[in-house]
Amino acid sequence: MSEENHIEHQANCPKKGHLWPAPPCQAACPVQTDARQYLSLIARERYHEALDVIMEANPLPSVIGRICAHPCEQACRRGQVEDPIAICHLKRFVTDKLGYSDGKVKVGLVPQTKEKSIAVVGSGPSGLTAAHDLARHGYKVTIYEKNAKPGGMLRYGILDFRLPPAVLDADIENVLAVGIELKTGVNIGKEVDFQDLINDNDAVLIAVGLSASRSLPIDGVDLDGVHLAIPVLEAINEGQSVELGNDVVVVGGGNVAVDVARSVRRLGNKSVKMVCLEARDEMPAHDWEIEDALVEGVEMHCSWGPDKIVGKHGRVSGLDFKECTCVFDEDRKFSPQFNEEKRNVLPADTIILAIGQAGELGFLEYSGVKVTDSGRLEFNHETMQTSHPMVFATGEITSGPGAAIRAIAGGHRAAAAIEAFLDERTPVYQEPLEALDSVPEHIAASMYKTPRRRMPKLPDEERSTDFKEVELGYSEEDALREAARCLGCTAGAFVDESKCAACLTCVRICPYGVPEMVGDKAYMNPQACQSCGFCASECPAKAITVDLTEEHLLALQIGLDTLEVEVAHLGAGPRVGFVCQFGHAWGADRTFDAEASMPENIRFIRVLCPARLEPADILNTFENGAERVFVTICAENYCHYKTGNGLTERRLDYVRSILDGIGIGGDKLVSYQIGQDTSLAEILKEMST
């Protein structure tokens, strides 16, 4: 590394108050969720803290943990060498594990501290998020929803097998619980005049989404048996009967089309075919949804454009279509080209058009809020204002169709804009983050590889028979193993140059050969650093820090204070186990039953490799009341970071020598190398006496 680059990198060190490049997952997330942090917390079984981290950015964690398009995973650097981390599944795991998605976790009321009030029209993800932000900041917020229940397209556009209504209800209940008033079944423009909202509030937010399906200007769309996608989805979601035939063709290649197709498959023994302009690899629907649809028996007919709907006696009998040779022009603009010579007909008694959505903005008539001739809102992306300064807008009505997490990001932005407007200042929005670049090839080649945990799903044969949730959620073991795959991008190591003694220890100790000397100071390239923390725990000057490693010690000290008293009657004092959370140190019976029956005088401190522990960490444990301490290390040749076993063992020897000298005895510090046959239950039994 050149001196110049080094200086630039060091100047960006977060420890000096500047920004280091962000983990790519966080930079890719529209709401910049600190996924690295919550994965690390999950890996150490600190689920409540993980949920707190998730909810800093996202008020609908159970929902997003199920349906997110997860751009974070596309950006994940583990994806360079094998499948990326299942960040979305892990988010869901936390909400399920804690009962948040079941409504068992209740959020408290935030007192209203400000006089001003805001009306939000629409209770989809953007409206809920904006309302949540504003209410938490003390404003009086009322949401107006035209449907009987809140959630917008989350409720009426996404089917129960992807997002069970109880899960949506649980999230929304907690959003509202901060002190938001919700008025459902209110059609603005009918029951309540939009002008009244402007008159009665200090700001109004339009977050109505795109709730109307677009139709197609082709012959036959007026025939019986032709439906628009959204009303069909709404009806199915509401449990209303929908008159559909047995040969159903869904026109469209987006997520709504796939959702409709999968839903209709569940209504009985129907043949469901999808026809779309795009080639299979161009379809806008998520790959994983398309794969699920195929598994469930939906047929795909790609690269075909509908020409006309044919019918008999006023009812649909089939769809005529022609080959689509190209969907987009050179500028990636929608400009489909067809081969008129190549045609096909699909017999059908039902056709569902899922070719796009539009907003319903009729309520804005005479309100002073301008709508363009093409039916779009006049909207300033910088201020989030419409043509009426008091009226703001967000969500798909401003950005077009997109992922729910994007709508949530829009909700945050709208809330920030409204607050700024009410405070008469310029809005301050979340700045985009610069993402850390890819893992250098030589480092990637030496990384420990461990496959992504598969999401358990309903058996194929059960799927098309009802609306039960298809994805069943990770087990705790799945979640722990998956979370431990995270590379901890940009968590460190950071060198405090004022303390670096240029001893070269980090250069010698790093299992990946990352540290280098730049002048007389050590430097770790964040692109290459695997955040194992070995350099930090070995550095004699304590000049190196790695995030994600230190805070567990605090928990330890708090826990031990009380434990010493609690177990006084047992005759065997507190024992502490530093337990490696990488799967290779789990042994034969790492069932959670073993921990459920854990002796009451034992506490675990979960670490991602015990070689991160300094001698003082272990001595502090004794200082704080532990009578015996044990450390689990991985089976031979299975250290996640290559050299952790040896480092740990020799560090434990050093601590034992101190314990011997003190008179406590080095035998009070035990290590267990855990192999496939090792029983954790036996270790716990042995340690408890």
Give the footprint of other proteins on this chain (CB under 8 A). Answer: 499, 501-503, 505, 508-509, 538-542, 614-616, 619-620, 622-623, 655, 658-659, 661-664
Write down the least CB distance from residue 650 to other proteins, Å: 9
- State the Cα–Cα distance between residues 405 and 410, nearest whole angstrom: 9
Tell me, letter by letter, the H, E, C secondary structure of 343-373: EEEEECCEEEECCCEECCCHHHCCCCCCECC
- State the Cα–Cα distance between residues 297 and 282, nearest whole angstrom: 20
Q: Which of 24/492 has CB closer to other proteins?
A: 492
Angle, helices 476-483/87-97, rounded to nearest 10 degrees: 140
Residues 439 and 81: beta-carbon distance below 8 Å: yes
> 292 to each of 460, 492, 624, how far by Cα in Å?
9, 39, 53
Residues 447 and 81: beta-carbon distance below 8 Å: yes
Q: Which of 433/664 has CB closer to other proteins?
A: 664
Tally of CB atoms within 10 A around 407: 30
| Side chain identity at residue 620, one-letter code | N
Write down the least CB distance from residue 573 to other proteins, Å: 12
Write down the least CB distance from residue 289 to other proteins, Å: 52
Write down the least CB distance from residue 638 to other proteins, Å: 24
* CA-angle at 85, arms to 79 and 87, nearest 5°: 135
At 628, give phi and psi (nearest 5°): -140, 150
Burial class of residue 590 (count of CB atoms within 10 Å of its CB; 0-12, 13-18, 19+) = buried
* CA-angle at 257, arms to 254 and 259, nearest 5°: 110
Write down the least CB distance from residue 501 to other proteins, Å: 5
Q: Which of 372/498 has CB closer to other proteins?
A: 498
Write down the least CB distance from residue 531 to other proteins, Å: 19
**What SS3 state is found at 424?**
coil
Of 219, 103, 260, 227, the residue nearest 169 (C-alpha)? 103
> 412 to each of 125, 130, 136, 409, 416, how far by Cα in Å?
10, 5, 12, 5, 6
* CA-angle at 458, arms to 457 and 461, nearest 5°: 135
Residues with Cβ < 8 Å from 291, sequence gap 6 or more? none
Q: Which of 256/539 has CB closer to other proteins?
A: 539
What is the pairing mode between strands 315-328 and 334-347?
antiparallel
Write down the least CB distance from residue 536 to other proteins, Å: 10
Q: What residue spans of 427-551 are helical by DSSP H?
A: 441-446, 460-463, 476-483, 505-509, 534-538
Write down the least CB distance from residue 80 to other proteins, Å: 31
Q: Which of 312/542 has CB closer to other proteins?
A: 542
Q: Which of 468/542 has CB closer to other proteins?
A: 542
Q: Which of 522/585 has CB closer to other proteins?
A: 522
Query: Which token pair is 313?
Result: 């006696």
Cα torsion 256, 257, 259, 261 to 10°: value is 160
Write down the least CB distance from residue 657 to other proteins, Å: 8
Q: Which of 441/623 has CB closer to other proteins?
A: 623
Q: Which of 514/680 has CB closer to other proteins?
A: 514
> How many residues comprise the chain?
689
Q: Map tokens 């826990």 to a residue.
A: 559
Q: Which of 294/568 has CB closer to other proteins?
A: 568
* CA-angle at 156, arms to 293 and 31, nearest 5°: 85
301 DSSP β-pair partners: 275
Q: Which of 51/536 has CB closer to other proteins?
A: 536
Write down the least CB distance from residue 22 to other proteins, Å: 30
Q: Map tokens 């087990």 to a residue.
A: 475
Residues with Cβ < 8 Å from 243, sequence gap 6 or more? none
Residues 493 and 526: beta-carbon distance below 8 Å: no
Write down the least CB distance from residue 483 to other proteins, Å: 29
Write down the least CB distance from residue 648 to other proteins, Å: 15
| DSSP state string for 75-134 | H-GGGGTSSPP-HHHHHHHHHHHTTTTTT-S-PPPPPP--S-EEEEE--SHHHHHHHHHH
Write down the least CB distance from residue 503 to other proteins, Å: 4
Write down the least CB distance from residue 625 to other proteins, Å: 9
Q: Which of 482/614 has CB closer to other proteins?
A: 614
Q: Which of 669/674 has CB closer to other proteins?
A: 669
Q: Which of 505/632 has CB closer to other proteins?
A: 505
Q: Which of 505/581 has CB closer to other proteins?
A: 505
Write down the least CB distance from residue 545 to other proteins, Å: 12
Q: Dmax over Cα atoms in the chain, in whole Å?
A: 99
- State the Cα–Cα distance between residues 413 and 32, nearest whole angstrom: 13
Q: Which of 436/659 has CB closer to other proteins?
A: 659
Write down the least CB distance from residue 530 to other proteins, Å: 20
Q: How many CA atoms lie within 13 A of 41 on its CB side?
A: 20
At 633, give phi and psi (nearest 5°): -125, 165
Query: Which token pair is 287?
Result: 């790959």
